[in-house]
Amino acid sequence: MTAPTALIAEDEPLLAQALRAELARAWPELVVAGVVGDGASAVREALALRPDVLFFDIRMPGQGGLEAATELAEDWPAGAPFPALVFVTAYDQYAVQAFEARAIDYVLKPVQAERLARTVVRLQETLAQRAGGSGGLDAAVDQLRHLLAARAPAAAPLRVIQASVGTALRMVPVDEVLVFEAADKYVRVLTAAHEYLIRTPLKELVPQLDAQAFWQVHRGTVVRADAIDTVTRDEAGKLHLQLRGRPEKWPVSRLYAHLFRAM
């Protein structure tokens, strides 16, 4: 029988070392295949190593644990067993969200041996169930979708986008925006006739938008819902949107495909 494997994503080396040591005591058979310190590395190493278990710190430089897990779920090969996911956090807020979203589990910093032992039991049960044929990817996507939805919205939706154009500051009414698209360190703001670049990250922008008016359809794309004209499925089964007023087509990731259940 192959030993189970794990990947730890934790930006604080001493905490990563402590978690690894506690895991060695609580689950001697578990092989920690890698330890990384940021979200981007966590996604890359998870795709390369395909561990059975992920311990993702919620807050890491750049991409946090939730965003990294979301990207991983979108890029994970169809049909391959998705790792059991445990969030490591110093904040009870995320623990409550994880519980409400039915995430497999969470552990609070500093890691307590007794609490970690209960997590290990749950993980072992989960892996045993998956050995019976359950891949876990659909469940992980559902859990992550609930966690994303549980993030606190802004008190009032954003009404105006401030975009620099040369030496001027252009005030763009949000009602005119059709698409927000992440582009490196910027976000492209597309109206029917114009394109602007702003520095506000998409993950900070999304909670400020009216969730009824704007739908996130990909980790890097948010579109105006009532501007969606058609949804088509390609030969590979991927969904694509066509918006009224824009010539481009926008892909829909598996995390947001539930928005178009009729397809």
pLDDT band at 139 (very low <50, low <70, confident <90, very high): confident
| Alpha-carbon separation of residue 34 from 26, 39, 60, 159, 200 (angstroms) | 18, 13, 16, 44, 32
What is the structure's pLDDT at 102?
A: 58
> pLDDT tens across 145-185, in order?
877 776 656 667 899 999 988 889 999 999 999 999 998 88
Predicted TM-score (pTM) of the model is: 0.75
> pLDDT tens across 238-249, in order?
999 999 999 999
* Percentage with pLDDT > 90 across the chain: 55
Q: Domains of the chain (ranges plus CATH)?
A: 5-150 (3.40.50.2300), 160-259 (2.40.50.1020)
What is the structure's pLDDT at 207?
A: 87
> pLDDT tens across 32-60, in order?
999 999 999 999 999 999 999 999 998 88
Which tops the pLDDT comparison, 121 or 104? 121
**How many helices, marked H, and strands, marked E, lie in the chain?**
7, 15
Mean pLDDT of the chain: 88
Which tops the pLDDT comparison, 11 or 63? 11
The length of the chain in residues reads 263
- CA pair distance 99, 256, nearest whole angstrom: 21
| Residue-wise DSSP of 30-89 | -EEEEEESSHHHHHHHHHHH--SEEEEESS-SSS-HHHHHHHHHHHSPTTSPPPEEEEEE
